[in-house]
Amino acid sequence: MRKIIASLDIGSSLIKLVVGEVTKNKFNILLAINTESQGIRNGFIVNQESFNEVIVDLFNKAEEILGIRVKKVIVNVPIYNAKYEFVEGSTTINNEEYMVSANDIVRSMQSAVYNKVSDNMELINLIPVIFKVNGEILTKEPLGMGAEKLSSKCVLITAPKKGIEPIIKVLEKNNIEVIDLAFCSFGDYEELHTSYEDDEVGAVVNIGADTTEVSIFNKGIISSSEVINMGSSNIDKDISYMYKLTSSQARKVKEELALCHTRMAQPNEVLELINTDDEKIRINQYESSEIVMERIKEIFNLIKKQINLLTKKEISYIIITGGLTEAADFELLVDEAFGTIARVANIGEIGARNNIYSSAVGLIKFYNKKLKLRNKEYSIFTLEEQEEFSGLEQKKLISENSILGKVFGIFFDK
CB-CB contact of 93 with 104 (8 Å): yes
Alpha carbon distance 361, 229 (integer Å):
24
Q: According to the model, what pLDDT value does residue 1 have?
A: 64
Nearest-Å Rg of the Cα atoms of the chain is 24
The pLDDT, as a whole number, for residue 25 is 75
Kindly give the residue spans of alpha helices, DSSP state H, lying in 321-402.
330-338, 358-373, 383-396
Compute φ and ψ for 404, nearest 5 degrees: -65, -40
Give the helix/strand (H/E) hosting 240.
helix 232-243
Tens of pLDDT along the chain (414 residues) come to: 679 999 999 999 999 999 999 987 789 999 999 999 999 988 899 999 999 999 999 999 999 999 999 999 999 999 999 999 999 999 999 888 899 999 999 999 999 999 999 999 999 999 999 999 999 899 998 999 999 999 999 999 999 999 999 999 999 999 999 999 999 999 999 999 999 999 999 999 999 999 999 999 999 999 999 999 999 999 999 999 999 999 999 999 999 999 999 999 999 999 999 999 999 999 999 999 999 999 999 999 999 999 999 999 999 999 999 999 999 999 999 999 999 999 999 998 889 999 999 999 999 999 999 888 887 888 888 888 877 777 666 566 544 444 434 444 444 443
Neighbour count for residue 139 (Cβ, 10 Å): 13
Count of beta carbons in the 10 Å neighbourhood of residue 102 = 15
- In terms of DSSP H, where are the helices of 281-329? 285-310
Domains of the chain, earliest start first: 1-78+164-182+347-381 (3.30.420.40), 83-162 (3.30.1490.110), 232-296 (3.30.420.40), 383-412 (no CATH)
pLDDT value for 404: 37
* Cα distances (Å, whole numbers) of residue 414 to 39, 82, 411: 45, 56, 7
Task: Compute the distance between CA of residue 110 and CA of residue 106 in angstroms, rounded to an integer.
Answer: 6
What is the number of alpha carbons within 13 Å of residue 269 lying toward its C-beta? Answer: 14
d(CA 318, CA 6): 27
Q: How far is CA 387 from CA 114, 230, 315, 404, in A?
A: 40, 46, 48, 22
d(CA 394, CA 173): 32
> Rounded to an integer, what distance in angstroms lies between the CA atom of residue 156 and that of residue 358?
24
Q: Are 250 and 236 in contact (CB under 8 A)?
A: yes
Closest CA to 187 of 352, 24, 9, 354: 9
Prediction pTM value: 0.90
DSSP element (H, E) containing 31: strand 27-36
Residues 6+ apart with CB under 8 A from 403: none
Rounded to a whole number, what is the distance in angstroms from the first to the last CA of the chain? 30
- Number of C-beta neighbours around residue 410 at 10 A: 9
